[in-house]
Amino acid sequence: MLKSMTGYGKGEALAPNGNFLVEIRSVNHRYGEISVRMPRSFYAFENEVKRLAASVLKRGKIDISVQWEETAAANNAPQLDMAVARGYYDAYTRLAKELNLPQDAPLALIMSQKGVMKEVIGTVDETELQPQLLAAVESAVIALEGMRFREGEVLTNDLRARRQQVAEWSKLIAERTPLMVIEYRQKLKSRLEQLLEGTEMDESRLAQEVALLADRSDITEELVRLSSHFNQFDEALSSSEPVGRKLDFLMQEMNREVNTIGSKSNDAGITNLVIQIKAEMEKMREQVQNVE
């Protein structure tokens, strides 16, 4: 089954102090090209992320976006500074004694003083987060592959139907070719009879002219090669390996044979069939560009 080169996948993974969100988008490309955008603190894992994606995604332009969001507890963990609180308490007690005021310092008053409660920025050890990061990447890759397989199934059915249509038209060309020679002989003989006006016709010369046309318009080799390309095309459609480049090459070869058939033909019927085949093969070529 074919795989498309276009698709989208998303994966998430939770960590004790945050979570990863990974999004992957892929589009057509002649080769395999992977780019990664992630927070600077995780740059050390870029090659691992690329290696994981490349082990599954063989062809296409692939953009990977990694987002990391820390939990609130990890970002801002409030902490009581006992030394500062004790300093405020001692200062309040001394002041109250000097001013002959109640010496019981209200707790809310102490807690509200600057520096007693402070926010401590949590520190993250990125090396401990590699498994979660790669798990999110793997989930996104699996989701992307699912979409690429679904689109690949549509491509396969479309290409098979179009290839079958091209084969049917090619069969009509093969059936038409010998009739074209017979018709040419009849037309040539009729014209010669009109020109000679009763004079005896040189049958050997007529046969020679017909033989020359038959030789010039012989497309047996082209039809045989075209049939071989059809078989290889069908085999590629059933392959589990990336076959986009092979299909592209086969399309070029098939187009070459059809062009040769068209150049050899002097028959309007065959010419029309060649035009139809080329139009259908152009649609096939466009679809093949989407195949991994």
pLDDT at 1 over 80: no
The predicted pLDDT at position 26 comes to: 96
The residue among 153, 154, 155 whose CA lies nearest residue 285 is 155
Tokens representing 290 are: 């989407």
Mean pLDDT of the chain: 85
User: pLDDT tens-digit profile of 185-200?
Assistant: 666 556 655 555 656 6
91 pLDDT band (50/70/90 cuts)?
confident
Q: Which helix (H) or strand (E) holds 88?
A: helix 82-98
User: pLDDT tens-digit profile of 60-79?
Assistant: 999 999 999 987 555 555 67
Q: Are 40 and 152 in contact (CB under 8 A)?
A: no
DSSP three-state, residue 51:
helix
Q: How many CB atoms lie within 10 A of CB 20?
A: 24
Q: Give the mean model confidence (pLDDT) for residues 30-51.
A: 94
Q: Give the mean model confidence (pLDDT) for residues 165-189.
A: 77
Under 8 Å CB-to-CB from 185, ≥6 apart: which residues?
Answer: 206, 210
Q: Which domains does the chain have, with CATH numbers?
A: 7-72+125-147 (3.30.230.10), 74-121 (no CATH), 152-288 (no CATH)
12 pLDDT band (50/70/90 cuts)?
very high
The predicted pLDDT at position 219 comes to: 81
Q: Are 255 and 281 in contact (CB under 8 A)?
A: yes
User: pLDDT tens-digit profile of 123-148?
Assistant: 556 788 999 999 999 999 999 999 99
Per the rule left: phi > 0, alpha: psi between -120 and 50, beta: everything else, 38 is beta
pLDDT at 184 over 60: no
Compute the distance between CA of residue 85 and CA of residue 91 in angstroms, rounded to an integer: 10
The predicted pLDDT at position 79 comes to: 75
The predicted pLDDT at position 175 comes to: 87
User: pLDDT tens-digit profile of 209-243?
Assistant: 656 655 566 788 889 999 999 999 999 999 988 99
Q: How many CB atoms lie within 10 A of CB 72?
A: 9
* Strand 32-37 versus strand 60-70 pairing type: parallel
| pLDDT > 90 fraction of the chain, expressed in percent and rounded | 53
The predicted pLDDT at position 206 comes to: 56
203 pLDDT band (50/70/90 cuts)?
low
